A and B are shown apart, each in its own frame.
Chain A
């Protein structure tokens, strides 16, 4: 029994080490901020570890991890909102997203995209990230978000439309994007 536990721990550790970079990138797109991304991935993996016996034996542990991360992200977003609403005079300052008019952000495609993503409602942001960064099918994205395929479609479409409407980003896209 003790051996079984040790084996499971080792399995989890190698799973975590292997997935860490990808999860960090996804979390970064969802949160737009380094520390928040680290927190999100760590909290996700803590929960995954607690259920690892079940998750590790499942056919698709990745799907479970995505579901946990999206749930946590949505919940955290609600919780942070409370934080922002409380101090009326500086609400939003906790957002570590470049402010409008920030010259560095404007000059930087990454900054422009992160800022644009941050302006999307949370479900649209999740749908865009899962579909176009994680490259999930609509069915897989729906599973991760705990909603219908139709909801994923409409959220992703609205999200993309809003991203394309943002001038700084439209310019980047028009010129072919990457430097």
Chain B
């Protein structure tokens, strides 16, 4: 195409260009989160290096679990994942029936909402994987990057789901991994979602993962207020919906939730107390 023709085309669509420019102005620009990007970029860079050592761990894991001792003084959210040996049967490894941990619950518009994490054990062969995929399908779950049952062999799948009222739970964060990534310091991965299914609760629920040593997560809302999530065990009627919890079967990180009050929504989240008691999770492979 000639330059003239391109110029003509651009001119002909000037009205669309104006509409686009106006719509683009509708976004809130905010401050560039330079430090968050640098931190995440460094972590991403480090992850490249971790590939080689992960292979070594898998090899060590096949002869039995790596024994790592937790140190005392941890409190509830540093409860040890005490898995000395991978159990033999598929049922005991939770291949067909996942381990489920409820992270938070509350009421929204007269109906109950829930956030839970389920961890599905790694199938050892295609037969186990096919049954697992069927079981996931019955629950309406679709694992990440697994198109065939064979893609699940040797991999653990996890799903953070949210549900509201009688509706079927929805996948919020999910992955299928060879090995859990180990979080440290202020590492965090989080997603902002809704309490209900209408746009008005958009960004009121934050779900994410932090290091096992993290003792406090602060979620900042757009109206300037904050919510603080701290290690919790058990559930009570006084729960605010904001907590850090150990998830059964999930290694390398704990999970947290924060709930924003009505009328505001997610702005940012950070680990504000990163250094809890020293703790090392057990690394169990396959």
Which residues of A in the span 125-167 have a Cβ within 8 Å of any Cβ on B?
A: 128-129, 131-133, 135, 137-138, 149, 153, 160, 163-164
Say yes or no: B37 contacts A90, CB within 8 Å.
Answer: no
**B58 interfacial by beta-carbon distance below 8 Å:** no
Q: Provide the A75-92 mask, 1 if CB < 8 A to any CB of B, else 0.
A: 000010011011111100
Chain B residues 13-34 with CB under 8 Å of chain A are: 13, 15-30, 32-34
Q: Is the CB of B27 within 8 A of A138?
A: no
Do residues A88 and B199 form an inter-chain contact, with CB atoms below 8 A?
Answer: no
State A21–B131 Cα separation when bound (angstroms): 48
Q: Are A17 and B34 in contact (CB under 8 A)?
A: yes
- Residues on B facing A (Cβ under 8 Å): 1, 6, 10, 13, 15-30, 32-34, 36-38, 40-41, 44-45, 140-142, 144, 167-171, 192-193, 197, 199, 202-203, 266
A residues in contact with B19, CB < 8 Å: 109, 113, 169, 172-173, 177-178
- B196: nearest residue on chain A (CB-CB)? A93
Total A-B residue contacts, Cβ distance less than 8 Å: 140
A132 touches B29 (CB 8 A): no
The dominant DSSP class at the A interface is helix
B142-A86 in contact (CB<8A): yes
Cβ contacts under 8 Å, B203 to chain A: 35
Which of A29, A82, A87 is in CB contact (< 8 Å) with B168?
A87
> For A94, what are the chain B residues with a Cβ–Cβ distance below 8 Å?
170, 193
Of the candidates B18, B24, B45, B197, the one whose C-beta lies within 8 Å of that of A178 is B18
CA distance A177 to B17 in the complex (A): 10
Q: State A37–B13 Cα separation when bound (angstroms).
A: 25
Contact B29 A21 (CB under 8 A): yes
- Inter-chain CA distance A160–B26, complex, in Å, is 21
Task: Provide a sorted-by-A list of 10 A–B residue pairs whose CB atoms are within 8 angstroms.
Answer: A17-B34, A20-B32, A25-B24, A26-B24, A42-B33, A85-B142, A131-B10, A138-B1, A173-B19, A177-B15
Give A28's nearest chain B residue, CB to CB: B27
Q: Are the CB atoms of A24 and B29 closer together than 8 Å?
A: yes
Establish whether residues A37 and B27, one from each chain, have CB atoms under 8 Å apart when the complex forms.
yes
- CB of A20 within 8 A of CB of B29, answer yes
Instruction: Check A65 for interface membership: any CB of B closer than 8 A.
Output: no
Closest B residue to A169 by beta carbon equals B19
Of chain A, the residue at the smallest CB distance from B32 is A20
Interface pairs A-B: 7 shortest CB-CB: A49-B41, A28-B27, A25-B24, A20-B32, A133-B20, A86-B142, A113-B23
Nearest CB of chain A from residue B49's CB, rounded to whole Å:
12
B192 / chain A contacts, CB cutoff of 8 Å: 35
A79 to B143 alpha-carbon distance, docked (Å) = 10
Q: Are B41 and A87 in contact, with the CB atoms below 8 A?
A: no
Instruction: Tell me, in angstroms, the Cα distance from A38 to B268 when the chains sit together.
Output: 11
Q: How far is A88 from B33 in the complex, measured between Cα atoms in Å?
A: 36
* In contact, B44 and A47 (Cβ under 8 angstroms): yes
* Minimum distance in angstroms from A20 CB to a CB of chain B: 4
Q: Considering the chains assembled together, what is the distance between the CA atoms of A172 and B170 in angstroms?
A: 36
B266 near A87 (CB under 8 angstroms)? no
Cα separation A17 to B33 with both chains bound (whole Å):
9
Expressed in whole angstroms, the minimum distance between the Cβ of A19 and any Cβ of chain B is 8
Q: Which residues of B contact A35 (CB under 8 A)?
A: 192, 202-203, 266
Would you call A90 and B197 a contact (CB within 8 A)?
yes
Interface centre among A169, A173, A177 (most CB of B within 10 A): A177
A37-95 interface with B by 8 A CB criterion: 37-38, 42, 45-47, 49-50, 79, 82-83, 85-90, 93-94
Which residue from chain A places its CB closest to the CB of B199 in the assembled complex?
Answer: A96
Partner of B144, one of A82, A131, A169, A178: A82
Docked CA distance A12–B15 (Å): 35
A32 to B182, CA, bound (A): 33
B140→A82 contact, CB < 8 A: no
Task: Return chain A residues, CB-CB under 8 Å to B171.
Answer: 83, 86-87
- Please determine whether B144 and A38 come into contact, CB atoms closer than 8 angstroms: no
Interface centre among B6, B25, B34 (most CB of A within 10 A): B34
Chain B residues positioned under 8 Å from A114 (CB to CB): 23, 26
Known: A89-B167, A163-B16. A82 touches B142 (CB 8 A): yes
